Amino acid sequence: MRINAELLRTVREEESWSQDELAIAASLSLRTVQRSEKEATASPQSKKALVAALDLDVHDLDHD
């Protein structure tokens, strides 16, 4: 599923988190976070984990 990778990266950086720190907070692998930011894709489960870790609404990461 396509996601808004730019917003994901921006919010992560605003939190001063590395990709590894986000991966730990979201209980995902570092590779999943890297792929989400680079390829703008994530499974529905990964998307839910990312928004929960970053305290976002699930629709915030919807791809325009």
pLDDT at 2: 96
Output the pLDDT for position 27.
98
pTM value is: 0.93
8 Å CB contact between 50 and 22: yes
Question: To 5 degrees, how large is the angle CA 58–CA 41–CA 30?
Answer: 90
The predicted-structure confidence for 23-36, as pLDDT tens digits, reads as follows 999 999 999 999 99
- Read off the pLDDT of residues 5-64 as tens digits, 9 standing for 90 and up: 999 999 999 999 999 999 999 999 999 999 999 999 999 999 999 999 999 999 999 987
From the list 24, 63, 6, 38, the residue with the least C-alpha distance to 50 is 24
Residue 40 DSSP one-character state: -
